């Protein structure tokens, strides 16, 4: 195997190439363009190019070559290689550090040893050479004892130099990522080993274009491992974006994402797929389970009781949901301020609640109503959890917000209005977090269970169903708490079932009896709205219990006298 590298014998590129092809014959090339050309015109069978260093970042000449080298499909990316990079400073035998006036190396190597150089050789002239081992060669050929080279220790031996000091890089974790490639397609391309795909995207200057491209990956659970922009030379202030993702287009999710990016972007070029590095330093993730629409339908739905006759228990911190002890989730409809949340949290905690609820992102019928405090509200919830120890349930309204809400919440609530937001259900599934799935006000039990199936089928078994009242002809109450549904889903599924008497009633006076009825019908717990001053609540005041009424309710559930609020 003849392998082209940039640089001479002893270069880091040679060491990297040998990790892939131990028996290679070296074809030394002057620059990265020549490496690609050597493979293309048959002087070499494969090549190895540095693409990124962990200390100084991208190797831009390689990036700028990628389109030309791999855009037309003649050359095939085969594998990435991570090489630990340790630098040594070397000079002619007899030379001393004190006598060094000039240091030669590749500019990237000089950059990686900045700290050592400024400490030990602050006044020397730094000279950029075309490669590290090449600078060792120059020093070795010359007669000048005031010259030194920085490069791989191994190069000193090749060029008759002595090591003045080893491991002078700024950071011992220093490593470089290389891409190897061949003219013939790689025989490894069919294995099940983890792979990556690299592509280039050109975007029009319109708001959100880059976000939309990245979302095409994010929404399908595809991990992005690198993103680099480079200027588009003949079109000032436009850019090309280099993207690396895990997987190959043989995964239907990546194929779909690429199709959607093709529709969005001004242009896309797939550079190729190659083996991801799995040795030391690897950042490759375990492959995701196949998406449900691409795997066979199970014989019976995942929610079906027969899948788990003993029932599912979901553990959230110290709490178990789905067992015999009724779960009490309490808190305000909306997080209105830090003070009111902490006051409510303290009160519900001491009255016996197991978990704190509170909306930070609120689904409101009118766009002019209070929409919630957003991330600020999430932070107040996390603070309340710190203080009381109660895990937090809060609503997430869109799939894009799953990561941010998930960062603060213990349980993600999917609200009634979003019960069939399938993108959100898929993202909730991928999150793996406990999900409280409320039933849509107009959803049948069948639709509700299939919404739960979306989460389960995306690999997340932690789903709690929440009956919160359905819309009937009756107008005297806000909704009608469907106790048939509570009893029936207990029978039909193994998932924990929670009732929300507050939203079902819309009025606080019947929340207690509906709570007791729900538990009697088989609910594993209830979620109730509580506010220190319900008449002045910013949302759902009429159905919110005050602190004393909640203490009474909690006492009735726990079968003891109310604790003082």
User: Which amino acids are annotated catalytic?
Assistant: 176, 178
Nearest residue (CB) to ligand PEP, 240 versus 503:
503
482-541 positions binding Mn ion, by CB under 5 A: 540
Three-state DSSP at 196 gives: strand
Nearest residue (CB) to ligand PEP, 65 versus 504:
504
Partner in contact with 438, chosen from Mn ion, ligand PEP, none, beta carbon below 5 to 8 Å by kind: ligand PEP
Nearest residue (CB) to ligand PEP, 51 versus 485:
485
535: DSSP letter: G
Which region, judged by CB under 5 A, interacts with Mn ion, from 60-68, 333-341, 348-356, 530-538?
A: 333-341
Residues 6+ apart with CB under 8 A from 416: 438, 439, 440, 441, 443, 468, 503
Report the sign of the C-alpha dihedral through residues 399, 401, 405, 406, in that order. positive
Three-state DSSP at 513 gives: helix
CA distance 230 to 240: 6
Least separation in angstroms between residue 56's CB and ligand PEP is: 50
User: Whose CB is nearest to ligand PEP?
Assistant: 415
Three-state DSSP at 38 gives: helix
Least separation in angstroms between residue 415's CB and Mn ion is: 9
CA distance 521 to 533: 31
Across the beta sheet with 88-91, what order do the strands follow? Answer: 125-128, 102-105, 147-151, 88-91, 162-166
Report the sign of the C-alpha dihedral through residues 527, 528, 532, 535, in that order. positive
CA distance 155 to 163: 10
Nearest residue (CB) to ligand PEP, 65 versus 416:
416
Q: What residues make contact with ligand PEP under the rule CB under 6 A?
A: 333, 359, 363, 415-417, 438, 468, 500, 503
Answer for the pair 554, 353: CB distance below 8 angstroms, yes or no.
Answer: yes
Answer for the pair 22, 11: CB distance below 8 angstroms, yes or no.
Answer: no
| 336 part of the interface to Mn ion, by CB under 5 A | no
Nearest residue (CB) to Mn ion, 45 versus 540:
540
| Binding-site member from 333, 356, 428, 436 for Mn ion (CB under 5 A) | 333
Least separation in angstroms between residue 113's CB and ligand PEP is: 58
Partner in contact with 308, chosen from ligand PEP, Mn ion, none, beta carbon below 5 to 8 Å by kind: none
Bridge partner list, 27: 4
Bridge partner list, 149: 90, 104
Residues 6+ apart with CB under 8 A from 476: none
For residue 563, which of 394, 385, 346, 366 has the smallest C-alpha distance?
346
Least separation in angstroms between residue 540's CB and ligand PEP is: 6
Nearest residue (CB) to ligand PEP, 40 versus 417:
417
CA dihedral 30, 31, 32, 33 (to 10 degrees): -100
User: Whose CB is nearest to Mn ion?
Assistant: 333
Nearest residue (CB) to Mn ion, 10 versus 359:
359
Residues that bind Mn ion (CB under 5 A): 333, 540
């Amino acid at each position: 195997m003849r392998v082209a590298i940039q640089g001479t014998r002893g270069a880091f590129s040679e060491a990297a190439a040998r990790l892939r092809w131990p028996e290679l014959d070296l074809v030394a090339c002057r620059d990265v363009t020549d490496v690609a050309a050597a493979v293309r015109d048959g002087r070499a069978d494969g090549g190895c190019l540095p693409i990124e260093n962990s200390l100084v970042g991208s190797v831009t000449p390689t990036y700028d070559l990628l389109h030309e080298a791999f855009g037309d499909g003649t050359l095939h990316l085969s594998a990435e290689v991570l090489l630990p990079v340790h630098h040594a400073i070397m000079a002619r035998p007899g030379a001393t550090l004190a006598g060094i006036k000039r240091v030669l190396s590749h500019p990237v190597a000089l950059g990686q040893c900045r700290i050592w150089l400024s400490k030990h050789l602050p006044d020397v002239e730094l000279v950029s050479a075309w490669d590290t081992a090449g600078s060792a060669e120059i020093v070795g050929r010359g007669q000048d004892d005031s010259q030194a080279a920085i490069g791989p220790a191994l190069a000193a031996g090749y060029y008759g130099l002595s090591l003045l000091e080893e491991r002078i890089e700024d950071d011992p974790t220093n490593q470089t990522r290389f891409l190897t490639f061949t003219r013939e397609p790689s025989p490894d391309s069919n294995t099940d080993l983890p792979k990556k795909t690299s592509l280039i995207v050109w975007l029009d200057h319109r708001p959100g274009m880059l976000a939309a491209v990245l979302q095409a990956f994010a929404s399908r659970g595809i991990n992005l491992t690198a993103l680099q922009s480079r200027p588009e030379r003949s079109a000032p202030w436009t850019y090309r974006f280099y993207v690396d993702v895990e997987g190959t287009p043989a995964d239907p999710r990546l194929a779909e994402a690429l199709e959607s990016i093709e529709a969005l972007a001004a242009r896309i070029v797939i550079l190729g797929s190659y083996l991801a590095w799995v040795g030391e330093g690897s950042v490759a993730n375990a492959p995701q389970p196949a998406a449900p629409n691409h795997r066979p339908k199970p014989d019976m739905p995942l929610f079906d009781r027969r899948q788990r006759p003993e029932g599912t228990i979901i553990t959230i911190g110290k709490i178990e949901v789905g067992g015999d002890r009724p779960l009490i989730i309490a808190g305000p409809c909306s997080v209105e301020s830090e003070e009111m949340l902490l006051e409510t949290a303290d009160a519900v905690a001491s009255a016996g609640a197991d978990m704190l609820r509170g909306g930070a992102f609120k689904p409101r019928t009118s766009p002019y109503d209070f929409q919630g405090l957003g991330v600020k509200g999430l932070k107040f919830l996390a603070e309340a959890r710190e203080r009381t120890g109660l895990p937090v349930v809060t609503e997430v309204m869109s799939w894009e917000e799953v990561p941010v809400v998930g960062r603060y919440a213990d349980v993600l609530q999917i609200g009634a209005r979003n019960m069939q937001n399938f993108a959100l259900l898929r993202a909730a599934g991928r999150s793996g977090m406990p999900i409280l799935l409320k039933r849509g006000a107009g959803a049948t039990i069948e639709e509700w269970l299939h919404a739960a199936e979306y989460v389960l089928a995306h690999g997340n078994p932690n789903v709690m169903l929440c009956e919160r009242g359905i819309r009937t002809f009756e107008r005297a109450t806000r909704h009608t708490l469907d106790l048939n549904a509570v009893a029936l889903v207990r029978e039909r599924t193994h998932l924990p079932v929670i009732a929300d008497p507050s939203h079902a009633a819309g009025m606080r006076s019947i929340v207690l009896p509906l709570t007791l009825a729900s538990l009697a019908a088989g609910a594993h717990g209830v979620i109730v709205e509580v506010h220190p001053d319900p008449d002045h609540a910013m949302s759902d005041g009429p159905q919110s219990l005050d602190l004393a009424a909640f203490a009474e309710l909690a006492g009735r559930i726990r079968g003891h006298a109310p604790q003082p609020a």
